[in-house]
């Protein structure tokens, strides 16, 4: 899953593709050529500390890009990174395939209904709070059990609303300390008890560049190492900034798996 950020303040590539349809579509094309199966488009930064933008602002950025990617790359899977029901509904109408919601329906009561009605695949993320204060919510009784209960409760609600395809995202960096992130990375496989695919989004995040005392721009090597580790622990989808390097990581991992 290649990341296409249409925001001003994303921690790695904020501002590069906002208000520029041609540049954004060219980046999507580059990622597709490098091997991306899914393009995840977001027009609202959800990094810790960020403030959510309005639905209208999101749609203004998203719709032209979706139309162009769908026109030029009809077979590419398009995922929309949003927390709003209206944005999900309108982007699915324009040809998006998946809704990637970091809020697990916490910010918009109508979102689960839209997913149930449209039968769109849905990425369910563990997030304890809104981005502006999520890093103040890092106290867990038992992080594995607490997140497992969170997923179980949300999955039950989604199933009752008719949602068929659910992908789990442990929410690395969302209301977790660095140590908690690494604990979860070690236990991805344990969340397979839900019988659902697991997406891992760790590309160039704080959990990589802060311990190494480098910048996000310098964190590709660490990202690739952790991608390999996530694959070894049964992650099914990698959400990445650097598609070519991630694809190479996947190819080599498959060689290891096929030659045991």
| Catalytic positions, written as ranges | 205, 239
Within 37-151, strands assigned E span 38-42, 77-81, 98-101, 122-125
Considering all CA atoms of the chain, what is the largest pairwise distance in Å, rounded to the nearest integer? 51
The answer to whether 150 and 170 are in contact (CB under 8 A) is no
Contact residues for 15 (Cβ-Cβ < 8 A; gap 6+): 7, 8, 9
Residue 27 φ then ψ, to 5°: -70, -40
Q: How many CB atoms lie within 10 A of CB 214?
A: 14
State how far the Cα of 253 lies from the Cα of 227, in Å rounded to an integer: 10
Identify which of 242, 188, 187, 185 has the alpha carbon closest to the alpha carbon of residue 219.
242
- Say if CB 164 and CB 208 are below 8 A apart: no
Of 45, 13, 44, the residue nearest 30 (C-alpha): 13
User: What residues pair up with 39 in beta bridges, in sequence order?
Assistant: 2, 78
């Amino acid at each position: 899953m290649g990341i296409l950020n249409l925001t001003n303040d994303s921690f790695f590539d904020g501002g590069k593709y906002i208000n520029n349809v041609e540049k954004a579509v060219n980046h999507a094309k580059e990622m597709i050529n490098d091997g991306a199966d899914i393009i995840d488009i977001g027009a609202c930064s959800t990094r810790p500390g960020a403030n959510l933008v309005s639905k209208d602002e999101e749609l203004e950025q998203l719709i032209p890009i979706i139309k162009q990617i769908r026109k030029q790359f009809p077979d590419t899977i398009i995922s929309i990174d949003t927390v709003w029901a209206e944005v999900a509904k309108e982007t699915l109408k324009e040809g998006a395939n998946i809704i990637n919601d970091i809020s697990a329906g916490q910010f918009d009561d109508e979102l689960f209904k839209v997913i149930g009605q449209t039968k769109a695949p849905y990425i369910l993320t563990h997030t304890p709070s809104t981005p502006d204060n999520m890093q103040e919510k890092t106290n867990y009784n038992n992080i594995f059990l607490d997140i497992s209960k969170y997923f179980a409760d949300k999955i039950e609600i989604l199933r009752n609303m008719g949602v068929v395809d659910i992908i789990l995202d442990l929410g690395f960096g969302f209301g977790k300390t660095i140590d908690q992130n690494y604990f979860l990375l070690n236990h991805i496989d344990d969340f397979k008890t839900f019988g659902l695919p697991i997406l891992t989004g760790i590309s160039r995040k704080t959990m990589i560049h802060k311990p190494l005392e480098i910048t996000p721009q310098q964190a590709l090597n660490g990202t690739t190492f952790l991608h390999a580790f996530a694959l070894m622990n049964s992650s099914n989808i990698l959400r990445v900034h650097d598609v070519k390097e991630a694809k190479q990581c996947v190819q080599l991992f498959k060689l290891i798996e096929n030659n045991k």
